[in-house]
């Protein structure tokens, strides 16, 4: 049943329809065995009602989808089964799938998406499952349409087949991988499709273009679903590995290790997890950067254990201030791994409240002492639109390296208010202490966000006092006030060329003052008068940046260049372009020129990608910075950063990747190669090789050459 489309087509934005007027799909119980092979040819599929008549959300809201999609849903005592037949032009040439990695990029791949909210409560997390025409899987946990847990991993199966005029997929999701209320018979559900080659996103139950499909207030209704009662639900994830290391020509050492995780679902809302000797040998390495700004570089979390349920503990603004940032656990300040002895995590989420508790212990090394971590998080839904929460973060630095035991407590209160459908406001206040130096400090953050069909406003405001310390968090710098207003405008005219989706000029600013004195520190105002987005999702822009810098201390962005204390004003001009990232051959470039403090700087970034088939991709990235007459000594120097990357996949479960980085500023070259085989759902064999060469002596005794290899076996058993 498809209701209400005629009046939706005439609107640019609309409120959610009452449940009775939204699309409904009846679930059908089956006793026939379903083989997950991508071909829904079992007779029982013909007995299930069809969800069809998909509607476009992007780029032309309300239009009928360019190609038809037909979805059916079955279930038995163990699984939900979903099949989709996605019509398509004949041949494979228009099917754009970037590669075969798990948890792929949403925007760069043709895909079919399933969104499930068994609680029919838009405030609760939305479980999302995506599959490509090649059977590659991605699962995401969405939170209130503004934060995402891309590393949430559920045990499920999917397979796809490409035919002449369509591609089809079959998905089996165990009930044990879902959270649902007891005795439920109706769930919120939606289906979406990204047709990559024409840049179209469409869905079964329509939502406004200003939002995403994760807004489950617009979702359809699944009826007649009778899930089994939640039984004992335990997931065991042990691992075993052998670690081989060789340093500066010394004899290779071998070390076996064992550990793992246990996840116990007390009920559909509550999860208790334990970890012992937590290991992240297979995690992606950080990409090096040449930092030309005065703020600390923000490296995102990439370790699986900490990425799961990360959104619950995430408060603040990424890259500016986060009172809790999981990379402070198990990694030294220099990014080197520290042994995590073990920990516990408790998560509870229902329609009224969310709570989380994380307790971890790490060992130290020659540069950092061991530590104990405790994080408690609580959020309460005051109304359907208002959430209030708090967080307590404790870090106890154990005695060692000439220092006594010390404690760093950080308290946080925060709120989220959905003022109206397009407008939300969120903010936090935080306080910190330190038992060692007796320093105390405070911080505050607020965001105002307004999303409409043709424009977008986002305003961030942050203040961090002198003395604020979040040793288990991230703060871009000390003692600052940061102001970030952002305005984006989107328009489409009928006279635009057919392949142009939007013209989108922008203006943004990034302004810093010293919090203790109010003195101006720096400002960067970016005017982007020209930006075009195309149907193949390539886009190009040109911007002008006006920078004011008030340096109170000397600043050394790269070796040899020392910027003197003074006031500076300079302009920079930048062109950025990226072609269709899902095409067999694509390119991305960023070219900038102009002033840089008292000198000149020309920066060049170029990335070329060749992927003739989804099973093979080669990316070559290069960054060059040419400084002219910069700093106290009027130095002219050049830095280079080279980063080739190779990915080869036999199929979605067997992949090989290799990533090399050479940085002339750090005089460092590193290679990371990884083979992975998913021999059963979420159970892997990894073979990882690492090599690091430091081409100059460091004052900290860092080895010149480090080589390592890891063979790791993981196994998941869901009981």
In this prediction, residue 301 carries a pLDDT of 81
Judge whether 414 and 425 are in contact, CB under 8 Å.
Answer: no
Judge whether 215 lies within some domain: yes
Judge whether 445 and 427 are in contact, CB under 8 Å.
Answer: yes
d(CA 134, CA 38): 10
Burial tier of 594 (Cβ tally within 10 Å: 0-12, 13-18, 19+):
middle
Domain count, the chain: 1
| Phi, psi (rounded to 5 degrees) for 515 | -70, -40
Burial tier of 140 (Cβ tally within 10 Å: 0-12, 13-18, 19+):
buried
Judge whether 440 lies within some domain: no
pLDDT class for 12, splitting at 50, 70, 90?
A: low
Residues spanned by the domain of 131: 5-223
d(CA 549, CA 570): 9
Higher pLDDT, 477 or 12: 477
Higher pLDDT, 375 or 284: 375
For 664-673, write each residue's pLDDT tens digit.
Answer: 988 889 999 9
In this prediction, residue 454 carries a pLDDT of 83
In this prediction, residue 262 carries a pLDDT of 92
Higher pLDDT, 660 or 3: 660
| Phi, psi (rounded to 5 degrees) for 307 | -75, -30
Q: Is the pLDDT of residue 460 over 50?
A: yes
pLDDT class for 345, splitting at 50, 70, 90?
A: very high
Burial tier of 553 (Cβ tally within 10 Å: 0-12, 13-18, 19+):
exposed
Judge whether 599 lies within some domain: no
Q: Is the pLDDT of residue 699 over 90?
A: no
Q: CA end-to-end span of the chain, whole Å?
A: 38
Confidence (pTM): 0.83
Q: What proportions of the chain, in percent to the nearest 5, are helix, strand and coil?
A: 5, 55, 40
pLDDT class for 5, splitting at 50, 70, 90?
A: very low
For 393-438, write each residue's pLDDT tens digit.
Answer: 999 999 888 889 999 999 999 999 989 878 999 999 999 999 988 9
State the Cα angle at 227 between 221 and 231, rounded to 5°: 140
Average pLDDT for residues 122-148, to the nearest whole number?
83
Judge whether 247 lies within some domain: no
User: Which one, of 503, 427, 415, 497, lies nearest residue 461 by Cα?
Assistant: 427
Judge whether 262 lies within some domain: no
- Only one residue has tokens 């042994």, namely 339
* β-sheet bridge partners, residue 203: 55, 192
In this prediction, residue 702 carries a pLDDT of 61
Q: Is the pLDDT of residue 232 over 70?
A: no
Average pLDDT along the chain: 89
> How many Å is the maximal CA-CA distance in the chain?
80
439 Cβ contact list (under 8 Å, min separation 6): 432, 433, 467, 469
Q: At 170, which CATH number?
A: 2.60.40.1190
d(CA 519, CA 479): 11
Judge whether 596 lies within some domain: no
270, two tokens: 């509550």
* β-sheet bridge partners, residue 531: 541
pLDDT class for 246, splitting at 50, 70, 90?
A: confident
d(CA 534, CA 200): 11
* β-sheet bridge partners, residue 544: 527, 573
For 590-603, write each residue's pLDDT tens digit.
Answer: 999 999 999 999 99
In this prediction, residue 231 carries a pLDDT of 66
Judge whether 138 lies within some domain: yes
One-letter-per-residue 3-state SS of 32-101? CCCCCCCCCCCHHHHHCCCECCCEEEECCCCCECCCCEEEEEEECCCEEEEEEEEECCCCCCCCCECCCC
In this prediction, residue 94 carries a pLDDT of 77
Residues in the chain: 719
Judge whether 30 and 81 are in contact, CB under 8 Å.
Answer: yes
Average pLDDT for residues 140-145, to the nearest whole number?
73
Average pLDDT for residues 441-458, to the nearest whole number?
91
In this prediction, residue 700 carries a pLDDT of 53
d(CA 603, CA 413): 41
In this prediction, residue 144 carries a pLDDT of 59
Judge whether 610 and 618 are in contact, CB under 8 Å.
Answer: yes
d(CA 245, CA 243): 7
Burial tier of 339 (Cβ tally within 10 Å: 0-12, 13-18, 19+):
middle
564 Cβ contact list (under 8 Å, min separation 6): 551, 554, 598, 631, 632
For 318-334, write each residue's pLDDT tens digit.
Answer: 889 999 999 899 888 77
For 352-388, write each residue's pLDDT tens digit.
Answer: 888 999 999 999 887 788 999 999 999 998 988 899 9
pLDDT class for 532, splitting at 50, 70, 90?
A: very high
d(CA 643, CA 588): 14
In this prediction, residue 3 carries a pLDDT of 33
Average pLDDT for residues 454-479, to the nearest whole number?
93
Higher pLDDT, 228 or 541: 541
Judge whether 277 and 342 are in contact, CB under 8 Å.
Answer: yes
Judge whether 271 lies within some domain: no
């Amino acid at each position: 049943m498809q209701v209400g489309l005629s009046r939706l087509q005439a609107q640019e934005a609309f409120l959610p329809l009452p449940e009775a007027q939204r699309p409904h799909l009846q679930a059908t119980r089956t006793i026939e065995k379903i083989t997950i092979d991508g071909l829904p040819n079992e007779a029982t599929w013909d007995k299930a009602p069809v969800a069809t008549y998909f509607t476009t959300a992007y780029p032309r809201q309300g239009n009928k989808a360019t190609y038809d999609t037909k979805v059916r849903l079955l279930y038995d005592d163990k699984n939900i089964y979903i099949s989709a037949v996605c019509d398509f032009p004949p041949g494979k040439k228009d099917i754009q799938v970037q590669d075969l990695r798990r948890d792929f990029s949403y925007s760069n791949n043709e895909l079919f998406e399933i969104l499930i909210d068994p609680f029919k409560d838009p405030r609760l997390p939305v479980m999302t499952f995506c599959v490509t025409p090649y059977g590659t899987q991605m699962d995401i946990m969405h939170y209130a349409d503004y934060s995402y847990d891309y590393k949430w991993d559920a045990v499920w199966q999917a397979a796809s087949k490409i035919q002449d005029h369509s591609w089809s997929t079959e998905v089996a999701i165990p009930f044990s991988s879902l959270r649902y209320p007891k005795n439920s018979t109706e769930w919120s559900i939606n289906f979406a499709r990204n047709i990559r080659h024409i840049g179209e996103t469409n869905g079964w139950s329509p939502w406004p273009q200003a939002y995403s499909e994760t807004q489950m207030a617009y979702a359809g209704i699944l009826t007649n679903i009778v899930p089994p009662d939640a039984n004992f639900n335990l997931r065991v994830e042990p691992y075993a590995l052998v670690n081989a290391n060789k340093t500066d020509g010394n004899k290779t050492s071998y070390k076996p290790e064992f550990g793992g995780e246990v996840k116990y679902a007390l009920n559909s809302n509550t999860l208790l997890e334990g970890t012992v000797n937590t290991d992240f040998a297979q995690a992606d390495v950080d990409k090096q950067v040449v930092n030309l700004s005065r703020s600390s570089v923000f490296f995102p979390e990439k370790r699986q254990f900490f990425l799961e349920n990360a959104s619950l503990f995430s408060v603040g603004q990424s890259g500016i201030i986060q009172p809790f940032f999981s990379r402070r656990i198990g990694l030294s300040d220099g990014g080197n791994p520290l042994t995590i002895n073990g920990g516990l995590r408790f998560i509870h989420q229902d329609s009224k409240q969310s709570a989380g508790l994380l307790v971890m212990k790490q060992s130290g090394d020659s540069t950092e002492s061991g530590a104990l971590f405790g994080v408690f998080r609580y959020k309460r839904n005051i109304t359907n639109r208002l959430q209030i929460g708090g967080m307590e973060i404790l870090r106890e630095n154990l005695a060692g390296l000439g220092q006594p035991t010390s404690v760093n407590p950080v308290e946080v209160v925060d709120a989220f208010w959905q003022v109206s459908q397009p407008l939300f406001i969120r903010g936090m206040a935080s306080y910190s202490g330190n038992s060692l130096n007796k320093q105390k400090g405070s911080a505050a953050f607020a965001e105002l966000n307004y999303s409409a069909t043709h424009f977008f406003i986002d305003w961030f405001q942050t203040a961090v006092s002198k003395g604020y310390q979040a040793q288990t968090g991230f703060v871009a710098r000390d003692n600052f006030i940061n102001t970030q207003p952002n305005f984006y405008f989107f328009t489409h005219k009928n006279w635009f060329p057919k392949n142009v989706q939007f013209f989108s000029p922008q203006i943004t600013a990034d302004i810093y003052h010293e919090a203790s004195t109010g003195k101006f520190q720096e400002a960067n105002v970016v005017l982007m008068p020209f930006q075009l987005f195309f149907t193949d999702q390539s886009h190009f822009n040109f911007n002008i940046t006006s920078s004011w810098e008030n340096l109170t201390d000397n600043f050394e962005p790269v070796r040899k260049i020392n910027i003197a204390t003074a006031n500076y004003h300079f302009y920079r001009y930048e062109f950025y372009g990226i072609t269709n990232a899902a095409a067999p051959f694509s390119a991305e470039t960023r070219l900038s020129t102009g002033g840089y403090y008292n000198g000149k700087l020309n920066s060049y970034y170029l990335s070329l990608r060749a992927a003739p088939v989804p099973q093979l991709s080669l990316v070559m990235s290069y960054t060059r910075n040419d400084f002219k007459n910069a700093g106290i000594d009027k130095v002219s120097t050049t830095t280079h950063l080279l980063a080739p990357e190779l990915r080869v996949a036999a199929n979605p479960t067997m992949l090989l990747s290799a990533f090399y980085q050479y940085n002339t500023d750090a005089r460092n070259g590193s290679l990371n190669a990884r083979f992975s085989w998913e021999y059963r759902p979420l159970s892997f064999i990894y073979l990882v090789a690492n090599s690091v060469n430091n081409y100059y002596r460091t004052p900290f005794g860092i080895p010149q050459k480090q080589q390592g290899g890891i063979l790791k076996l993981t196994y998941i058993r869901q009981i």
